[in-house]
Amino acid sequence: MVIPAVVLSTGVGAINGYILTKWRFAGSNFVFGMLLFGCFLPFQAVILPMAQLLGALRLSGTIPGLVLVHTVYGISFTTLFFRNYFITIPDELTKAAQIDGAGFFRIFFSVMLPTALPIIVVSCIWQFTQIWNDFLFGVSFTAGQSSPITVALNNIVNVTMGRKQYNVDMAAAMIAAIPTLIVYVVAGRYFVRGLTAGAVKG
Amino acid sequence: MSTLEIDRVRKSYGSLEVLKEVSISIGTGDFLVLLGPSGCGKSTLLNMIAGLETITGGQIRIAGNVVNDLSPKDRDIAMVFQSYALYPTMTVRQNIEFGMKIRRTSTADRERAVKAAADMLQITHLLERKPSQLSGGQRQRVAMGRAIVRQPKLFLFDEPLSNLDAKLRVDMRTEIKRLHARLGTTIVYVTHDQIEAMTLATRVAVMKDGVVQHLDEPQAVYDRPANVYVARFVGAPAMNIIPGTLQVEGTTAVAVVDVMNRSPARIPGISISAEAARKYAGKKILVGIRPENFSIGNDAGRASLTVDVDVVEPTGPDTLVVFQLGGVEVTARLPPKQASAGTPAALSIDTSKIVLFDADTEARID
């Protein structure tokens, strides 16, 4: 559930950022402003309309439905990341590639994405942590087998018969936390580098 | 066959007109330099030739074909940017190959083209490095290599030397000139440095406010500038523009200019057409004299005058002498140690090099 959501939101964010910086169109700043607005939307505000939409798409209660919710919600953040990164890359680079004969996607995949490695890592870590740790969307839009680990953890901890088994609770919490820890350990050194990438040149 | 014709081309952003009817035409193997201060529209014009900016009006033709609606990749051009615009994640080899890869050139041909270009530019030992590991001059070479391998009809250079230090700039200038001699490709080159324009060009277009002020060979632009603006922009120190009045004596003209604290000086023997002589006799004009057309001493048969020297600036090979003439500061380039500040100096003027301008329109009087 987490991986497709992370990949999709990062991918869409990268393309959005690329278009918003290198292929300006009339009103692109307005679009960016509206996308930024998405960052300020609290989870709670979108639950009800989202539930209606998922119902209309016949995705309610399924994993693809949850992936869709997380992807859409994450696009605001990933677009912000990529837009701010790509804006530091000189426009002449895209112009040179255009003259070399590269098209829209060729420039994106051959020129832009390879330079964007730090910000891809940042975006992935950010999205992974967000989605993995999310509880509200998980508990709202899934049920039973398809519920994410945070919901399952909550079920273990809160639903007990008889004496509370703290050892089991702790073990479950540990298991739930491990993937995020691994992601941080593996990709952590890129994280700080990526966060400051736009700030200082060189 | 790689001519370039720019036919009444206009460009405007909304109501702001950046280029007003620019027409330039050059032949195969020409080296056109677009020269002007920043904001004069020269880079916009280059981007329009490249296809990176749309054309508001008029036509651009490369080798006789109208390219107005062609995308950059179909125009058969190559461009070198001011910031080099090398792809940072690729090695030098990959940078040079990129365009050919997209055009699906065979591996063997690619190898051969890269090797030939690298040999020509002496960057063979750098092929496996990343752009970040190269110095400014080396990056510049790679950017040129990327352009050369494409074998385009037209090379476009956008201020390629502006980011280099003074010494390297002179070296690369020679390099570009050599490259042009060897390849014989038509080149369009944008710069604000008049020395680059003079040294490199076969044709110079001096631009200001989106209008071509003067299009000609460099020497002609230098010797007979079309107006006061061109006269001041080309040449360092700039041409002296001195207010004066015109008197006609037979077939030649005499320019009379005020000399501070002395009686007005007469500069006789300026050749002028009969028509202009009639029109401007007794009128106010502007006299253009290049600093090097002054010489020391009262030479018989040449226009001569005596001035009070204000400032003396030795540059090494010669000395710049500043004095007042016609109410403006005038600079003369004289041999070293011939004049000193605060003393009078007798100067003569090479009148065959004098250019006269209309006092109101600032256009040249022939």
Could you list the residue range(s) of the whole structural domain that residue B331 is in?
A: 240-365
**B45 and B103 fall within a common domain:** yes
Q: Which domains are delineated in chain A?
A: 2-195 (1.10.3720.10)
Distance from CA of B86 to the nearest CA of A (A): 7
CB neighbour list of residue A193: distance below 8 Å, 6 or more residues apart:
A118
B296 and B268 in one domain? Answer: yes
Integer Cα distance of B137 and A60 in angstroms: 61
| Cα(B352)–Cα(B222) distance, integer angstroms | 14
B140 and B171 co-located in one domain: yes
Between CA B71 and CA B116 the distance in angstroms is 28
Q: How far apart are CA B237 and CA B233, in angstroms?
A: 9
**B contacts of A101 (beta carbons < 8 Å):** 72-73, 99, 102-103
* Cα–Cα distance measured from residue B214 to residue B229, given in angstroms and rounded to the nearest whole number: 10
Chain centroid to Cα B97, Å, comes to 32
Q: What pLDDT, in 10s, does the model give residues B16-45?
A: 889 998 999 999 999 999 999 988 889 899
Query: Quick check: B48 contacting A, CB < 8 Å?
Result: no
**pLDDT value at residue A194:** 57
B140 and B223, same domain (yes or no): yes
CATH at residue B259 = 2.40.50.140
Residue B289, beta-bridge partner list: B240
Contact B66, B215 (CB under 8 A): no
One-letter-per-residue 3-state SS of B9-63: EEEEECCEEEEEEEEEEECCCCEEEEECCCCCCHHHHHHHHHCCCCCCEEEEEEC
- Look-up of token digits 């910000």: A119
**Domain final residue, candidates B191, B215, B233:** B233
- Among chain A residues, the shortest Cα distance to B144 is held by A96
CB A80 within 8 A of CB A73: no
Q: How far is A31 from chain B (nearest CA, A)?
A: 22
CB distance A101–B102 less than 8 Å?
yes
pLDDT at B46: 93
Q: Is the pLDDT of residue B214 over 80?
A: yes
Pairwise CB contact (< 8 Å): A93 & B87: yes
Whether residues B88 and B129 share a domain: the answer is yes
Strand partners, B314: B319
Note whether B85 contacts A101, CB cutoff 8 Å: no
Q: Note whether B98 and B136 are same-domain residues.
A: yes
Please count the structural domains in chain B: 2
Q: End-to-end CA distance of chain A, in Å?
A: 37
Q: Does the structure show a pLDDT above 60 at B246?
A: yes
Residue B151, pLDDT score: 85
Whether B88 contacts chain A with CB within 8 A: yes
Residues B297 and B196 in one domain: no
* Per-residue pLDDT at A191: 67
Closest Cβ–Cβ partner in B85, B87, B150 for A95: B85
**B115 to chain A, closest Cα gap in Å:** 19
Q: Which two structure tokens, joined as six digits, stand for B188? A: 């369009």
The C-alpha atoms of residue B158 and residue B131 are separated, in whole angstroms, by: 19
CB A151 within 8 A of CB A66: no
Question: For chains A and B, what is the number of CB pairs under 8 angstroms?
Answer: 60
Assess whether pLDDT exceeds 80 at residue B169. Answer: yes
Residue with the two structure tokens 């061109």: B230
Residues of A in contact with B99 (CB under 8 A): 99-101
Q: What is the CATH number of the domain that holds B190?
A: 3.40.50.300
Q: What is the pLDDT averaged over residues B287-308?
A: 85
* Residues of chain B with C-beta less than 8 angstroms from the C-beta of A93: 85, 87
CA of B22 to nearest chain A CA: how many angstroms apart? 23
Which chain A positions have a beta carbon within 8 Å of B150's beta carbon?
100
- Note whether B98 contacts A: Cβ–Cβ < 8 A: yes
Peptide bond before B237: cis, by omega within 30 degrees of 0? yes
Q: What pLDDT score does B205 carry?
A: 94
Q: Closest residue of B to A101, CA-based?
A: B73
Q: In the listed set B201, B233, B265, which residue is the last one of a domain according to the structure? A: B233
Structural element, H or E, at residue B244: strand B240-249
Of B73, B81, B86, the CB nearest to A101: B73
Residues of chain B neighbouring A111 (CB-CB closer than 8 A): 87, 89
Residues of chain A with pLDDT under 50: 198-202
Concatenating the DSSP letter of every residue in A38-54 gives HHH--HHHHHHHHHHHH
Copy the structure tokens of residue A49: 């309309």
**pLDDT band at residue B276, thresholds of 50, 70 and 90?**
confident
**Mean pLDDT over all residues of chain B?**
89
At residue B290 the predicted structure's pLDDT band, cuts being 50, 70 and 90, is: very high
pLDDT in tens, B112-164: 999 988 988 888 999 999 888 888 888 988 998 998 888 888 999 999 888 88
Interatomic CA distance for residues B289 and B326, integer angstroms: 13
The ipTM assigned to this model is 0.75
Identity of the residue in B78, B86, B103 whose CB atom sits nearest the CB atom of A99? B78
Q: Identify the pLDDT of residue B248.
A: 87
Are B165 and B249 contained in the same domain?
no
Q: Could you tell me if B89 and B136 lie in one domain?
A: yes
- Cα(B129)–Cα(B140) distance, integer angstroms: 14
The predicted structure's pLDDT at residue A187: 78
Q: Which of B72, B89, B99 sits opposite A115 (nearest CB)?
A: B89
Same domain, B214 and B246: no
Scanning every residue of chain B, which has its alpha carbon at the shortest distance from the alpha carbon of A111?
B87
What pLDDT does A31 receive? Answer: 87
Q: Is the pLDDT of residue B186 over 70?
A: yes
- pLDDT value at residue B287: 93
Answer yes or no: do B228 and B250 share one domain. Answer: no
For residues B77 and A99, the answer to whether their CB atoms sit within 8 Å is yes
Q: Higher confidence at residue B319 or residue A61?
A: B319
Please tell me the predicted confidence (pLDDT) of residue A180.
86
User: Could you read off the pLDDT of B332-365 as tens digits, one per residue?
Assistant: 999 988 888 888 888 999 888 999 999 999 999 8
Query: Are A96 and B79 a contacting pair at CB < 8 A?
Result: yes
Whether residue B195 is found in the same domain as residue B63: yes
Interchain contact B68–A (C-beta under 8 A): no
The yes-or-no verdict on residue B300 having pLDDT over 80 is no
Question: Which of B190, B207, B233 lies at the terminal end of a domain, its last residue?
Answer: B233
- The answer to whether B333 and B248 are in contact (CB under 8 A) is no
Average pLDDT for B228-255:
89
Query: Average pLDDT, stretch B247-257?
Result: 85
Which of the residue ranges A88-97, B244-253, B316-325 has the most confident prediction, judged by mean pLDDT?
A: B316-325
B73 inside 8 A of chain A by CB: yes
Query: Please, where are the H alpha helices in chain B?
Result: 42-50, 92-102, 107-121, 136-148, 166-183, 194-200, 218-223, 228-233, 274-280
